[in-house]
Amino acid sequence: MSQLEHIEAIETRLWSAADSLRANSNYASNEYFLPVMGLVFLRYAYSRYLAVKAKIEPTLPSRGGKTRALTKEDFSQQGAIFLHPQAQFDYLVSLPNSADRAKAIIEAMESIEKDYDNLRGMLPKSEYQELGKEVLAQLLRTLNPEELKTVKGDVFGRIYEYFLTQFADQKAHDGGEFFTPVSLVSLIAHVLDPERGTVLDPACGSRDVDVPDTL
């Protein structure tokens, strides 16, 4: 099986598990959408965090046998989000059954918003109080399969878009919001064929589109 086919199989399996959990829990798609996508975002951020951390740590300066601690700026320079321990996905997955998972996830989101002004008020929080403790536990485990830790590339970026597409097919978006497939965004960019200057699209979607290096 090729790398792409392997990733596609993972996407399908993760969605199937998450959607089966929704169906068995009697949640409507529009109730389930934000908390699930918030966890997918958090897992995506954690995947990027681990990749950048592995790259940065060997280059950190040392003095007196003590290595400088990682900082938010280290990750910003690499286009990644710095995650405090309580916001890291493995920590949330490892919480005991007695823990208040909704509270822990909300605190994880709040810690990110505190560090990044552009995300303040944007991440789902109170929505997790509407999901049962066991549903949250299963969702966390579903989105953290061991095989994803060895797959290379922007896997969770793909999974994020795949989940968006599936939720859009279920009409889970409210307020007239619609997901534009990457294939259509790419087609528009190639039809426009910009040669220079700056292209601004405030509704460009969840992923950048490659444009010529001359821009």
Detail the DSSP E strand segments found in 57-205: 62-63, 66-67
Whole-angstrom Cα distance, residue 71 to residue 21? 37
Query: Structural domain boundaries of the chain?
Result: 3-175, 180-215
The residue to which tokens 């560090």 are assigned:
115
Give the per-residue pLDDT at 142. 86
Secondary structure percentages of the chain, helix, strand, coil, to 5: 60, 0, 40
Residue 75 DSSP SS3: helix
Residue 122 DSSP SS3: coil
Beta-bridged to residue 63, according to DSSP, are 66
Of the candidate CATH numbers 3.30.450.30, 3.40.710.10, 1.20.1260.30, 2.40.50.140, the domain formed by 3-175 belongs to: 1.20.1260.30
The DSSP letter of residue 83 is -
From first to last of its 215 residues, what are the pLDDT tens digits of the chain? 555 566 777 778 888 888 887 887 777 777 788 888 888 889 888 988 988 999 999 999 988 889 999 999 999 999 899 999 999 999 999 999 999 999 999 999 999 999 999 899 999 999 898 888 888 998 898 888 877 666 666 677 777 777 777 787 776 555 555 555 555 566 666 777 767 666 666 665 554 444 444 33
* Counts of helices then strands in the chain (DSSP H, E): 8, 2
